[in-house]
Amino acid sequence: MKRRHFIKNVSLTGVGLVAGNAMLNCAENNSEKNENETIMTKTNSKFPIAICTWGFANANAKAGEALSKGVKALDAAIIGVSVEEENLKNTTVGKGGTPDREGNVTLDACVMDSNGDCGAVVCVENITNVALLAKQVMTETPHVILASKGAEEFAYRQGFEKDNLLTEDSKKVWEEWLKSPEYKPLINIENHDTIGMLCLDNDGDIAGACTTSGLSYKMKGRVGDSPIIGSGLFVDNEIGGAVATGMGEEVIKTVGSFLIVELMRSGMSPQKACEEAVHRITNKNDKYKGFQIAYIAINKAGDTGSYSIHKGFTYMRYQNGKNENIHSSYFNKI
Ligand code: SD4
């Protein structure tokens, strides 16, 4: 199936879901063409697995179901995260995201595939499905990152439609904030919901996607870790993958997701690697007391792990048809 074809045919609000359904049908048709015994063996194994940050049960289930039908890891991750990009109640991802301090909703996203290819878009306005757009950057351009207006214009050329990302609810909250604006971006221990997702498909291949509207009331033009390959997301199909959520500046300073994959390469479990990446931050000084960071990771064997600075972080894991919400262990016990 040519992605260009389905993007041309999608509606204003349904890029991701229409994309998702098209990919599912495609996988079903392909499955029919494949040998049945291969599919039966694989569905009985530990794979596929989908994990994502926070309690995004629907998003993770969508990805898991897609994987179970034979969709490859990257497309499944994009199907999953598009659920949150289109969820107006999620105020830190996609449409309905909290704006910057000037009232513009600007989105960041990246994807990384099992073959080591990646794509990202930063500071994009008016486009809801930015993870899918990041994939388009990867597959349809010679580049890895497109920013702002360039990314938006590329999106229109690819068939994405213009959308107003600032909902009435987000606008009201922003107007309230404007009455006594704090210059500091609002980020605290409880308030994070970027979605980062890692999928391990029936073939044992790993890929991921990460998408966010970034920090609430950030400075105009601010970009966090989420679209930065190695920080918000990193995948090495020989080893595993990791994604981050939380205070992006601190994740970037320690190249957190790349670090986790490298630690797994040297033999650490996903759990230990996530712990070590958090300790790199908490060992520096005590500023960690004022912000949250959390990582999740998966290795090639399908083992998963997570760790956060503070209490309260959870992640979803879909495996063998079961979609669980797992409470992460954390560093700051006081
Ligand atoms: C950022 N890491 O832009 C993102 C914010 C986040 O849940 O994760 N929010 O820094």
Choose the residue to mutate in 87, 215, 231, 252 for probing ligand 1, maximizing ligand atoms within 8 Å of C-beta: 215
Short-list 293, 292, 306, CA closest to 241: 306
Q: Which range among 143-147, 182-186, 200-204, 292-296 shows the weakest confidence by mean pLDDT? A: 182-186
Compute the distance from residue 226 Cα to the ligand 1 centre, in Å.
Answer: 6
pLDDT per residue over 97-107, tens digit each? 999 999 999 99
Q: Hey, which CATH number is domain 42-327, 3.40.50.300, 1.25.40.20, 3.60.20.30, 3.40.50.280?
A: 3.60.20.30
Q: Which residues line ligand 1 (CB under 6 A)?
A: 92, 192-194, 212, 214-215, 224-226, 245-248
Q: How far is it, in rounded angstroms, from Cα 203 to Cα 197?
A: 18
When pLDDT is cut at 50, 70 and 90, the band that residue 183 belongs to is: low
Query: Tens of pLDDT along 6-46?
Result: 333 333 233 444 344 334 433 433 333 343 333 434 444 78
pLDDT band for position 193 (50/70/90)?
Answer: confident
> Which atom of ligand 1 is nearest to 223's Cα?
3
Asked if 194 is an active-site residue, the reply is yes
Q: What atom in ligand 1 is closest to the CA of residue 191?
A: 7
| 156-170, 174-188, 233-247: least confidently modelled range | 174-188
Contact at 8 Å (CB) between 215 and 185? Answer: yes
Residue 102: which of 51, 37, 178 has the closest Cα?
Answer: 178
Q: 236 pLDDT band (50/70/90 cuts)? A: very high
**Atom 6 of ligand 1: nearest residue by CA position:** 246
List, in order, residues 6 or more apart from 285 with CB less than 8 Å away. Answer: none
Rounded to two decimals, what is the model's pTM?
A: 0.88
